[in-house]
Amino acid sequence: MAATASRARPGRWLLALAAVGVLAGCGGGPAQNISLIPGNQIEAQSRRDGLFVQPVKWQHTKPGCQGECPSIKLESLVFPSVPRLTQLVDHALAMMTGVNAKRIPPYSTVAGYEEYFWKTAAPRDSTMLSAKARYRSKYLTVIELDTWQYLTGAAHGLSATQFLNWDNSRQGVLSLDQVLLPGKHQAYVEALRAAHQRWLASNPDARHDPATYNRLWPFQPSDNYAFSDDGLVVKYDSYQIAPYSAGQPELRIPYAELAGILKPEYLPSASR
């Protein structure tokens, strides 16, 4: 695997999902007076009405290997009532590993990736694949997909994250453009920029030398969003807007700042 594999941008594997017909379309929309974000419930309450989910976990090393051996660890999710979503999660995790930023990998499932990995991995290569539910309600299921890959001889592993915002009733992933009002993408970017400024204000390294930090790690727009109880969460990979030591920054845009930007059905009633 190329050293840049784990930093391949999410857009590529989303295109691959569409190409194989896994990504469901989301035509139409709910009535404007229905809120898909229950404003009077916290996540612990709203998840009771969400899709039933079961965990799946395993850790494998290369068959027949002795001594230092490549390994894969999986902590994922199965949705027994929605096999399409289970398939999507599996496919997306596999595609996020990447083998070359310029082409689609020669596999489409975690099982296929494992087979490929044993053929190509160096002795200390390691991959961790994770899928977890960040938010669940009657209407929406938000899944965070994480990959971490260490290549033998590298200074450290590299991680990548992608959110899937699944519409339970329409059986499909909601892209950012599908939840924004027409013509409001730039307004979303400005709201994200304001969230970035708040994040900088809480970042000791950025406060120490703001000019240098902003020059080295300027703001970048992102469509890697997730619904939550109190706003949209936007998460970045390592090295996108901060050094490796900062991990994977999360910016939060409160729903109150998204009124007139998000479609009304994606706002709690109190935020409209």
Domain membership of residue 16 (yes or no) is yes
Cβ atoms of residues 137 and 33 within 8 Å: no
Cβ-Cβ contacts under 8 Å for 199 (sequence gap 6 or more) = 249, 251
pLDDT, position 153: 82
End-to-end distance of the chain based on CA atoms, in angstroms?
Answer: 48
Number of domains in the chain: 2
Mean pLDDT of 124-128: 96
Q: Whole-prediction pTM value?
A: 0.83
- The 3 state secondary structure assigned to 69-120 is CCEEEEEEEECCCCHHHHHHHHHHHHHHHCCCCCCCCCCCCHHHHHHHHHHH
pLDDT-based confidence at residue 12 (cuts at 50, 70, 90): very low
Cβ atoms of residues 37 and 137 within 8 Å: yes
Report the percentage of the chain scoring pLDDT > 70: 81
Judgement on whether residues 72 and 199 belong to the same structural domain of the protein? no
**Pair of tokens at residue 31:** 């009535």
Separation of alpha carbons 7 and 244, rounded Å: 12
CATH number assigned to the domain comprising residue 72: 3.30.565.40
* Listed residues 126, 154, 174: the one ending a domain: 174
Judgement on whether residues 17 and 146 belong to the same structural domain of the protein? yes
Judgement on whether residues 91 and 46 belong to the same structural domain of the protein? yes
pLDDT-based confidence at residue 272 (cuts at 50, 70, 90): low
- pLDDT value at 89 more than 70: yes
Judgement on whether residues 187 and 134 belong to the same structural domain of the protein? no
Domain membership of residue 44 (yes or no) is yes
Residue 72: domain span? 7-24+35-174
Separation of alpha carbons 93 and 95, rounded Å: 5
Minimum mean pLDDT range among 3-17, 46-60, 232-246, 251-265: 3-17
Mean pLDDT of 11-37: 51
* Listed residues 154, 174, 194: the one ending a domain: 174
Q: What is the pLDDT of residues 189-212, one digit of tens each?
A: 999 999 999 999 988 888 888 888
pLDDT, position 107: 94
pLDDT, position 242: 86
Domain membership of residue 30 (yes or no) is no
Helix 83-97 and helix 10-19, axial crossing angle in degrees, nearest 10? 130
- pLDDT value at 69 more than 60: yes
Judgement on whether residues 110 and 239 belong to the same structural domain of the protein? no
Q: Which residues pair with 233 in a beta bridge?
A: 226, 252
* Listed residues 144, 174, 204: the one ending a domain: 174
Cβ-Cβ contacts under 8 Å for 84 (sequence gap 6 or more) = 22, 24, 171
